[in-house]
Amino acid sequence: MTTARAAACSHQLNMRVYLMEAESGHIYEEAELSDITGMNICMNESFSPDGRMLDISIENNTSELKKGKLLIINEPIDCEKDHVALLPPLHSHSVHFLEGFVYLVDGKMDNGFTRQSTFSWMKERSLPELFTHPAAYQPIVKGEAASVLCFDYSCQGFTRIEGAIWSLMGEEIDDLLKISEGLKIGLAFKIKK
C-alpha cells in the first residue's frame, strides 16, 4: 500500500445503519438491532485496502409480515472542508471526493428490499426527519454532509432477506464503477431469490 493510500484509509467513509419499524415508527440504531422482537438482524463488515463491505441480513422469526425502512448514512470519519458528495441523477450510487481520492458507495439487495432513494444530508436535519421526509434531491453538497441510502423492506413471515452495501476507494471513478458492477453481478448469484 502506498503512503498516500495508507493516509487516505484513515479518512474512509463511516457507514452508520439505522432501521425504522413501519408498525411502531421506532428507530433503532445499529447497536440496538438485536433488541427487535421477532427479528434477527445480522451485519458483517469486511475491509480491504480499497474499501469496505457491509453484508446485511434481516430474518423474520414470526408469521407476520414485517415492514420498515433501512437507512445507511455515509460520511467522512473526519469532517474535511474539502469533502464533496455527488449524487448522479438516475443512479443509485453516491460519490464522495476527499483528500484526492474518490469513494463510491453502492449496494445490491434482494427482492425483499426496494430502493426508496439516495439523497444527501446536512447534519442539521434530525434522524426522524430522514425517515419520514427524505431530503429533496441535491446533486452536490460540500463540507459537513453525508450521502444516505434509504431502502424500504418487506419481510414475509419466517423468511430472510439479504443484501450488501459497499464503499470503494480509488483514484478514478470509472474504475470504481466497474468494480461496483462486478460486485453486483457476483452478489446476484449469492443472494437467494
* Number of domains within the chain: 1
Sheet (strand 113-122) strand order: 27-29, 13-21, 66-76, 145-155, 113-122
Categorize the per-residue pLDDT at 136 as very low, low, confident or very high, splitting at 50, 70 and 90.
low
* Mean pLDDT along residues 39-45: 94
Question: What is the predicted pLDDT for the residue at 2?
Answer: 39
Supply the mean pLDDT for the chain: 84
Question: What is the predicted pLDDT for the residue at 9?
Answer: 47
E strands in 22-174: 27-29, 39-48, 51-60, 66-76, 84-86, 94-98, 101-109, 113-122, 140-142, 145-155, 160-170
The one-letter amino acid at 168: L
Domain that holds residue 157: 3-190
Categorize the per-residue pLDDT at 129 as very low, low, confident or very high, splitting at 50, 70 and 90.
confident
Categorize the per-residue pLDDT at 8 as very low, low, confident or very high, splitting at 50, 70 and 90.
very low
* Mean pLDDT along residues 163-177: 94
Judged against a pLDDT cut of 60, whether residue 57 lies above it is answered with yes
Model pTM? 0.84
CATH for 69: 2.70.98.40
Judge residue 49's burial from the number of C-beta atoms within 10 Å of its C-beta, 0-12 exposed, 13-18 middle, 19 or more buried: exposed
Question: What is the predicted pLDDT for the residue at 1?
Answer: 38
Q: Three-state SS across 87-113?
A: CCCCCCCEEEEECCEEEEEEEEECCCE
Percent of the chain with pLDDT over 90: 46
In the chain, the N- to C-terminal Cα span, in Å, equals 38
Question: What is the predicted pLDDT for the residue at 192?
Answer: 44
Categorize the per-residue pLDDT at 77 as very low, low, confident or very high, splitting at 50, 70 and 90.
confident
Question: What's the CA gap between 171 and 102, in Å, rounded?
Answer: 6
Categorize the per-residue pLDDT at 123 as very low, low, confident or very high, splitting at 50, 70 and 90.
low
* Mean pLDDT along residues 68-87: 84
